[in-house]
């Protein structure tokens, strides 16, 4: 599928659910993809990309940034506190804030820098032990804590368990966001972005449907 096919599907789906397509940001997830595939999408004029590792992003994006204006990078993978400074330099949005220690580090660095990327709080809606994200039962407390640190919390993010119906997880995320007065919902990937749009996603993260299968994850 091409980028154009995806954006067409996003618009059709948004309209079918009474939503404005411009309220939905497509993040083209370029992690692990060969440079020529990423460059092809840049050449088509697209500028919003997602990476899951700080180091991988640092290795490839500076060269693209020298060549193309207006690149907007989103961090969608787990962030270690010792990489927080580099992440803040590289990314306009971080989708994976999930614990106090990280929030405190980001708040301290934001003070020092005088600005901060937009932040999403990741919620482990499936309560999977191996997965990042705060537990649903801890989300309200953690969101309040992050807001009290003056962090720019834009919304919530989740990655549903692979074997489960994603709509239950999207609905849970939307409910937690609504009761905390948050508008942003980062949810939906190649296989389920239309379901996510139907349930209010504002940021969808689509990789393989745009770039093709990844060689590894």
Ligand X SMILES: *Cc1c(COP(=O)(O)O)cnc(C)c1O
Question: Quick one: tokens of 136?
Answer: 């649903």
Give yes or no for residue 207 binding ligand X (CB under 6 A). yes
Residue 204 makes contact with ligand X by CB under 6 A: no
Does residue 76 belong to the site contacting ligand X (CB under 6 A)? yes
**Beta carbon of residue 62, minimum distance to ligand X (angstroms, whole number):** 22
Query: Which residues within the stretch 122-181 sit at the binding site for ligand X (CB under 6 A)?
Result: 159
Closest among 122, 126, 117, 131 to 186, alpha carbons compared: 122
Q: Given the complex with ligand X, which of 151 and 159 has the nearer CB atom? A: 159
Binding part of the chain for ligand X, among 59-67, 86-94, 140-148, 202-210 by CB under 6 A, reads 202-210
Residue with tokens 């804590």: 145
Closest by Cα among 78, 25, 17 to 48: 25
Among 10, 29, 41, 187, binds ligand X (CB under 6 A): 29
34, 125, 134, 187, 208 from 216: Cα distances, Å: 11, 25, 26, 22, 11
CA 141/CA 71 separation, integer angstroms: 34
Q: Which range in 38-46, 135-143, 147-155, 205-213 contacts ligand X by CB under 6 A?
A: 205-213
Q: How far apart are CA 146 and CA 144, in angstroms?
A: 6
Pick between residue 8 and residue 67 the one whose CB is nearest to ligand X: 8
Count of residues touching ligand X (by CB under 6 A): 13
Q: Which is nearer to ligand X, 7 or 104 (CB)?
A: 7
Q: How far apart are CA 104 and CA 81, in angstroms?
A: 9
Site of tokens 């787990």: 78
Q: Is 74 in the site for ligand X (CB under 6 A)?
A: no
Binding site for ligand X (CB under 6 A): 29, 31, 52, 76-77, 159, 189-190, 205-209
């Amino acid at each position: 599928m091409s980028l154009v096919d995806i954006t067409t599907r996003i618009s059709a789906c948004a309209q079918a659910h009474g939503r404005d397509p411009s309220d939905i940001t497509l993040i083209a997830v370029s992690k692990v993809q060969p440079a020529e595939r990423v460059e092809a999408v840049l050449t088509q004029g697209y500028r919003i990309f997602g990476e899951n590792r700080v180091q991988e992003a640092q290795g490839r994006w500076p060269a693209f940034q020298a060549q193309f204006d207006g690149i907007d990078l989103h961090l969608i993978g787990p962030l270690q506190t010792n990489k927080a400074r580099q992440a803040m330099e590289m990314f306009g949005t971080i989708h994976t804030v999930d614990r106090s220690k990280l929030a405190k580090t980001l708040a301290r660095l934001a003070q020092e820098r005088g600005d901060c990327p937009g932040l999403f709080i990741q919620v482990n809606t499936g309560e999977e032990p191996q997965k990042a994200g705060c537990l649903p039962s801890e989300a309200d407390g953690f969101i309040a804590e992050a807001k009290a640190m003056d962090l720019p919390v834009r919304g919530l993010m989740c990655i549903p368990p692979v074997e489960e119906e994603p709509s239950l997880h999207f609905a849970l995320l939307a409910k937690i966001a609504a009761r905390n007065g948050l508008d942003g919902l980062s949810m939906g990937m190649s296989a389920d972005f239309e379901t996510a749009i139907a349930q209010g996603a504002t940021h969808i993260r689509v990789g393989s449907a745009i770039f093709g299968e990844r060689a590894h994850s």
